[in-house]
Structure 1
Amino acid sequence: MTHGSLRLRLSVAAAALIALALLASGAGLFLIFEAALDRRTADELNHTAKLLAGNVGFDAAGDIVVEQPPGDPRYATPYGGLYWQIESAGRKPLRSRSLWDKSIALPQKPAADMAHHAWADLPGPDGGSLIAVFRTVRIKGAPGEPLVVITVAMDRAQLAASRDLVLRLLPVSLAALGVLLALAMAAFVHRALSPFRALRAELQTLREGRAARLRGGYPTEVQPLVDDLNRLIAQQEEALERARRQAADMAHGLKTPLAVLDALARRIRDRNAGLAAEIEEQSLAMQEQVSRALARARSAAASGLQQRRTPIAPVIDQLVSATKRLPGAERIDWRVDVPPDAAYPAGEGELLEMLGNLVDNARKWAKREVIVTVATAGAGGSIVLEDDGAGMDPSEMAAVDRGRRWDETVPGTGFGLAITRDLAAATGGRLHLSRGASGGLRASIEWSGD
């Protein structure tokens, strides 16, 4: 994925949101666990306070007594982490052995019949922090029905094991959840981008000439783009058709005047050879302009959005068969090697024009042999024509351009290689000229499957 990839942008944004959500949810879950743990601990301590309230009383001397203290051994172990304390005004407090010689200082004086309360930060006997509850109860039947305050507390260090377990399990759980969310988000992004993959596939069928328009059925967010592309395709087809018509009209309009000029040149050649030569030269220049305009029209048509594929073997067979019937062609041995399934990404007219120029050029310059080879690799390939003629110098190959006649001794307009170069470029290929193994010209049209 490149820096400008929509998939990359969505993935990065999703990853950032997932990470933030996991961090927030992790912190929230831990806080919820802490609150739930405190609430449950307070409920357990309140239960112990109720048991103490049911067993508290006074002996004959008026001292506080508990008939059945809590059985948890931590209440009997000095600084064991669980503590209880019973107080009544004017009497000596009764405390669990775990408090040893310390006491729990309440933050306020309890009132009669108060509900139980919990404190998160009461100081403990060993310097720790306590979570504590207290209850107030009146002892019925005792002289004066004294008010008794029962306090039960737990050292927060006792909760550390549960907290540590959560801290160990929570990151692992969040990481597993993150992986699941990442997979789900990847599937979501893949699904969300499926219309664009379908659009790309349809554009490929359009370029290959297997469809004339993009079909509908896309989501409402993508359908306007498809409609605009169809309108663009229609406008381009209209523009290309106008270019073809204009080129054809110009060629047709100039055909008769050029024929008249040629006839005039022949009629006055005997009386004024110089004037006849000038007329013929101008007539040839106009013919070259007509050829140039027609080549441009074909090149524009070949560069459209719709791309056809034309089998190469029938076109080469047709050209070679026609060339063999020309005068003097019997001296040439044509060696053709074309795979039957090889196809060029252009229309038959464009391929016929390009190969016609190359075949005719090879016929003119070959001494005894022309080799035609076609190779394909996936959707790409190459068409190579090599003759055993005199060839071209590198400077001449680089100087070949539209209208350039690099050898005046051989008939022709000089547009063949230039037109082939333009048509190859317009159809996604490239014309490459080099010296062949036998010293002649090696002309190759190469294209890729991109």
Structure 2
Amino acid sequence: MRRDSLRLRLGLAAAGLIAIALALAGIGLTVILDRVLDARTADGLDRLAKLIAGQVTVEPGGTLGLPQAPPDPRFATPYGGLYWQIEGGGHSLRSRSLWDRGLGSVADTAQEPAIGDLDGPDGGRLIAVTRRVTVPARGDPVALAVTVAEDRRDLAQSRATFLRLLVPSLVALFAALTLAMALFVRRALAPFRALRADLAAVHSGTRARLPETFPEEVRPLVSDLNRLLDAQERDLERARTQAADMAHGLKTPLAVLDALARRTDTSHPTLSQDIAEQARAMARQVERTLARARAATGGLRRRACPVAPVAERITGALKRLPDGEALRWESVLPEALAFPGDEGDLTEILGNLLDNARKWAHRRIRVSGRADGEGGRLVVEDDGPGMSEAAIAGIARGRRWDESRPGTGFGIAIARDLAEAAGAGIHLDRSDLGGLRVTLVWPERRDPSGP
């Protein structure tokens, strides 16, 4: 998945937001747990304070007594983590767990019982509950403060146990929600994948327009693309019509010039030769310009044309020519080899290349090709004299190669223009047959609906 992928960006954003939400939820659950633990512990301590307050006695000398201590063994263990203390009438009574220390009492509040934190006998923090009661005695009633406290380290152990369960649970929840969000994003982007597939069908020529079956949010984009396709098709048709009109419009003046050249051949041979040469030059330029015009109208809709049938048809036609019957034609083309353009473009490209090879070959012409994962390759070779590096450079600049043979002399240059318009390239070098080798290469057609 590429870095500029919309699905990757949405997935990362969703994962980040989910992580933040779960982290805040974890913090909130921890705070809630702390409050619940405090409330539950305070409630238990208050019940113990009531139990102790109901059993306390005041002796005649004001001494406090507790006939039956709470049964929890932590009250009898020094610094056992659970403590009680009774104060009133100038006397005090405390649990054995306090040993020789005192608790004090929670400050008076409007709340009864009073709940707060106290310092423990071993330096720790205690959560304490103080309940103030009045106990009858033989004299005046005695006001007592009964305090029961528990070490917060016991609560910390419960909190740690909760966190050990909470963190893996949140991690698992994060993974599940991230996966669900990834599936959601994939589902939400499904119309765009379908749009890319339909655009690929338009590029390949199997579909003329995009369907109107997309969701409402995507439909305006589809409508605009269809309008663009229609406008491009109209421009394409207009360009073809103008090219045909130009060809017909120039055909008559060129024929007139040729007739004038023949008419003045006897009286003004030099002038006749100049007129004929200029007429041929104009014809060559017109032919190449028209070929470029046809090549420039490929547009958005491209077709993949099988190479083997076109090569077989052109070879069969060239074999019937007088100088083509004496040549040995070799063709090794796989059925899977397809040119990324119209059949008309391929016909003109291959026709120019094979006709050029026919004119210069001595005995042998070979056409071969290859289709693989990297694209396609079409090679036309002959055993003729070949071309020098200077001639190849001249072809690259659009110049005519040789005027000693019939024809316009622009066949390879026209083939280059048409190939480049289809996204292919032409390379010229020397063949192992001895003559010229023309290699037509094009990259693999990428499917826009792919990754």
TM-score, normalised with respect to structure 1: 0.93
Q: Who is 1:348 aligned against?
A: 343
Q: Within 5 A, what are the aligned runs for 1:85-100?
A: 85-88=85-88, 90-100=89-99
Please give the root-mean-square deviation of Cα atoms over the aligned residues, in Å.
Answer: 2.0
Q: CA deviation at 1:223?
A: 2.3
Q: CA deviation at 1:60?
A: 4.6
1:395/1:193 CA distance change after superposition, 3 Å: farther
Q: Who is 1:77 aligned against?
A: 77
Partner SS for 1:216:
coil
- The answer to whether the 8 A contact 2:365-2:383 is kept is yes
Structure 1 portions without partners, runs of 5+: none
Q: Within 5 A, what are the aligned runs for 1:94-173?
A: 94-109=93-108, 115-119=112-116, 121-139=117-135, 143-173=139-169
Partner SS for 2:245:
helix
1:294/1:353 CA distance change after superposition, 3 Å: same
Offset from partner CA, 1:196-229 (integer Å, 9 cap, x none): 2111111111111110111123233322222222
Q: Who is 1:437 aligned against?
A: 432
1:78/1:341 CA distance change after superposition, 3 Å: closer
- The answer to whether the 8 A contact 2:108-2:114 is kept is no
Residue 381 of structure 2 aligns with an amino acid whose one-letter code is: E
Q: Within 5 A, what are the aligned runs for 1:18-417?
A: 18-88=18-88, 90-109=89-108, 115-119=112-116, 121-139=117-135, 143-301=139-297, 303-378=298-373, 380-401=375-396, 403-417=398-412
Offset from partner CA, 1:302-353 (integer Å, 9 cap, x none): x311111222222111111110111221220001122234322211111111
Partner SS for 1:256:
helix
Structure 2 portions without partners, runs of 5+: 447-451
Q: Who is 1:447 aligned against?
A: 442
- Measure, in 2, the Cα distance between the counterparts of 1:262 and 1:401: 30
Q: Within 5 A, what are the aligned runs for 1:421-436?
A: 421-436=416-431
1:402/1:265 CA distance change after superposition, 3 Å: farther
- The answer to whether the 8 A contact 2:106-2:130 is kept is no
- The answer to whether the 8 A contact 2:113-2:129 is kept is yes
- Measure, in 1, the Cα distance between the counterparts of 2:219 and 2:392: 49
- Measure, in 2, the Cα distance between the counterparts of 1:186 and 1:142: 79
Question: What is the number of equivalent residue pairs in this alignment?
Answer: 445
Offset from partner CA, 1:418-442 (integer Å, 9 cap, x none): 1111111111211121211112111
- The answer to whether the 8 A contact 1:110-1:136 is kept is no
Q: CA deviation at 1:396?
A: 2.2
Residue 321 of structure 1 aligns with an amino acid whose one-letter code is: G
- The answer to whether the 8 A contact 1:288-1:403 is kept is no
Offset from partner CA, 1:41-71 (integer Å, 9 cap, x none): 1111112112223322334544322233211
1:330/1:110 CA distance change after superposition, 3 Å: closer
Segments of 4+ moved more than 6 angstroms: none
Offset from partner CA, 1:242-299 (integer Å, 9 cap, x none): 1111111111111112112211211221111111112112211221232123112210
- The answer to whether the 8 A contact 2:106-2:129 is kept is no
Residue 119 of structure 2 aligns with an amino acid whose one-letter code is: P
Residue 270 of structure 1 aligns with an amino acid whose one-letter code is: T
- Measure, in 2, the Cα distance between the counterparts of 1:378 and 1:217: 33
Offset from partner CA, 1:59-105 (integer Å, 9 cap, x none): 454432223321111111111110111222x2411111111222222
Identical columns (%): 54
> Which shifted more, 334-343 or 30-39?
334-343
> Which shifted more, 280-289 or 53-62?
53-62
1:347/1:316 CA distance change after superposition, 3 Å: same
Q: Who is 1:9 aligned against?
A: 9
- Measure, in 1, the Cα distance between the counterparts of 2:321 and 2:409: 20
- Measure, in 1, the Cα distance between the counterparts of 2:108 and 2:15: 54
- Measure, in 2, the Cα distance between the counterparts of 1:14 and 1:110: 48
- The answer to whether the 8 A contact 1:110-1:149 is kept is no
Q: CA deviation at 1:107?
A: 4.3
- The answer to whether the 8 A contact 2:106-2:115 is kept is no
Offset from partner CA, 1:12-64 (integer Å, 9 cap, x none): 32233233223322222222221221111111111211222332233454432
1:110/1:438 CA distance change after superposition, 3 Å: closer
Residue 96 of structure 1 aligns with an amino acid whose one-letter code is: S
- Measure, in 1, the Cα distance between the counterparts of 2:430 and 2:109: 110
Q: Who is 2:449 aligned against?
A: none
1:140/1:395 CA distance change after superposition, 3 Å: farther
1:107/1:48 CA distance change after superposition, 3 Å: closer
Partner SS for 2:65:
strand
Partner SS for 1:36:
helix
- The answer to whether the 8 A contact 1:383-1:446 is kept is yes
Residue 98 of structure 1 aligns with an amino acid whose one-letter code is: S
Larger relative CO (CA 8 A, sep 6+): 1 or 2? 2
- The answer to whether the 8 A contact 2:58-2:64 is kept is yes
TM-score, normalised with respect to structure 2: 0.93
